[in-house]
């Protein structure tokens, strides 16, 4: 399934690469287009988050009212979701899409000759075999990246092969070689620039999300009933907040781990995606807040 989407993304990235003739610029344009395509989903997610926060207040009332009747409580909660036209699993779609993008684009940058240039597998295997016969080192994980690096040698070896030109991808971007893999170039400080910027952008994004959640929880705590019931609900909200905080760190940690063992092109995609996501959240938050004020 991931290869299917990587193949579709490959056609788009190939078109952009042929337009700008630079792999880094093509990835940036590719990221912007993907974000624009997912904008309706992002708007829906932001609205769902705001609506869900208001829904929690009604749910607390139901939970307090039917605390001794679990079956009735579940019925009332499901009825509430139905009335508000919301699904208990409304947040799952965004997580699934993120995971799908994560692995599909990893496949894409791992094998650009397969998905971007549409070079047949038998041709790629032939070139890999030539490198191995010459005693050149070929990575098992990223053989196509090694072929791109050895383009000049392969061209001399196959002077009449027109397919060779497809291997000549321009991977240099602002002085950085996007074909490099941090794990394989530990002594080259340039391989850490994009991953470090990605980590910083992830930290900013997480801080923004945490600040929004704290603001919503503060409002809820002000509405909590006094006494033992109130204390229990406050503890429950704190537990939910801690869980959300842990979940918000999971995707960046997973991405950073993969970025260290993948070509820098993947880290560049995530970095640009993070920057666009931060801008998107700021703009959508203001737009949706203004929309709510007009309706009120």
Listing DSSP states for 42-82 in one string gives HHHHHHHHHHHHHHHHHHHHHHHHTTT-HHHHHHHHHHHHH
Helix axis angle for 92-110 and 2-20, nearest 10°, is 60
- Flag whether 53 is in a domain: yes
Q: What is the pLDDT of residue 129?
A: 93
Q: What is the pLDDT of residue 22?
A: 92
- Flag whether 261 is in a domain: yes
CA torsion sign for 267, 273, 279, 284 is negative
- Flag whether 77 is in a domain: yes
Q: What is the pLDDT of residue 252?
A: 63
Q: What is the pLDDT of residue 213?
A: 59
Q: Which residues pair with 172 in a beta bridge?
A: 177
Q: What is the pLDDT of residue 131?
A: 92
Digit-coded pLDDT (tens) for 212-269: 655 655 555 554 444 444 444 445 445 444 555 555 556 567 667 777 788 898 889 9
- Flag whether 234 is in a domain: yes
Q: What is the pLDDT of residue 86?
A: 65
Q: Which DSSP letter does residue 4 get? A: H
Q: What residues contact 190, with CB distance under 8 A and at least 6 apart?
A: 175, 176, 177, 180
C-alpha pair distances (Å), 64 with each of 28, 56, 81, 185, 218: 50, 12, 17, 58, 20
DSSP 3-state assignment of 31?
A: helix
Q: What residues contact 182, with CB distance under 8 A and at least 6 apart?
A: 191, 192, 195, 259, 260, 261, 264
Q: What is the pLDDT of residue 154?
A: 92
- Full-model pTM: 0.77
Q: What is the pLDDT of residue 26?
A: 95
Q: Where are the beta strands (DSSP E) in the chain?
A: 172-173, 176-177
Which regions in the chain score pLDDT beneath 50? Answer: 223-234, 236-237, 239-241
85 — alpha (psi -120 to 50), left (phi > 0) or beta? left
Tokens of 149: 């690096």
Please count the other Cβ atoms lying within 10 Å of the Cβ belonging to residue 110: 20
Number of domains in the chain: 1
Q: What is the pLDDT of residue 118?
A: 92
Q: What is the pLDDT of residue 32?
A: 95
Q: CA end-to-end span of the chain, whole Å? A: 45
- Flag whether 152 is in a domain: no
Q: What is the pLDDT of residue 295?
A: 61
**Which domain range does residue 41 map to?**
2-117+169-295
């Amino acid at each position: 399934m991931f290869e299917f989407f990587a193949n579709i993304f490959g056609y788009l990235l190939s078109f952009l690469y042929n337009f700008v003739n630079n792999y880094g610029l093509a990835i940036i344009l590719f990221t912007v287009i993907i974000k624009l395509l997912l904008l309706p989903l992002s708007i829906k997610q932001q609205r769902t988050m705001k609506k869900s926060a208001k829904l929690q207040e009604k749910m607390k009332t139901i939970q307090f009212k039917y605390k001794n009747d679990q079956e009735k409580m579940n019925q009332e909660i499901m009825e509430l979701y139905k009335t508000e036209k919301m699904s208990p699993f409304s947040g799952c779609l965004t997580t699934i899409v993120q995971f799908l993008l994560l692995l599909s684009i990893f496949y894409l940058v791992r094998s650009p000759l397969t998905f971007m240039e549409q070079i047949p597998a038998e041709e790629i295997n032939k070139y890999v075999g030539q490198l191995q016969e010459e005693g050149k080192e070929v990575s098992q994980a990223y053989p196509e990246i090694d072929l791109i690096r050895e383009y000049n040698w392969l061209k001399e070896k196959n002077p009449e092969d027109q397919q060779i030109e497809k291997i000549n991808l321009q991977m240099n971007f602002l002085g950085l070689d996007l074909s490099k893999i941090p794990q394989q170039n530990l002594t080259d400080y340039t391989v850490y620039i994009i991953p470090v910027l990605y980590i910083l952008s992830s930290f900013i994004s997480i801080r923004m999300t945490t600040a929004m959640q704290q603001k919503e929880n503060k409002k809820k705590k002000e509405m909590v009933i006094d006494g033992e019931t109130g204390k229990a609900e406050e503890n429950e909200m704190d537990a939910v907040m801690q869980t959300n905080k842990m979940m918000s760190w999971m995707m960046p940690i997973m991405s950073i781990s993969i970025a260290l063992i993948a070509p820098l092109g993947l880290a560049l995609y995530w970095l640009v995606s993070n920057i666009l996501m931060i801008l998107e959240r700021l703009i959508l938050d203001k737009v949706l807040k203004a929309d709510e004020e007009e309706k009120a």
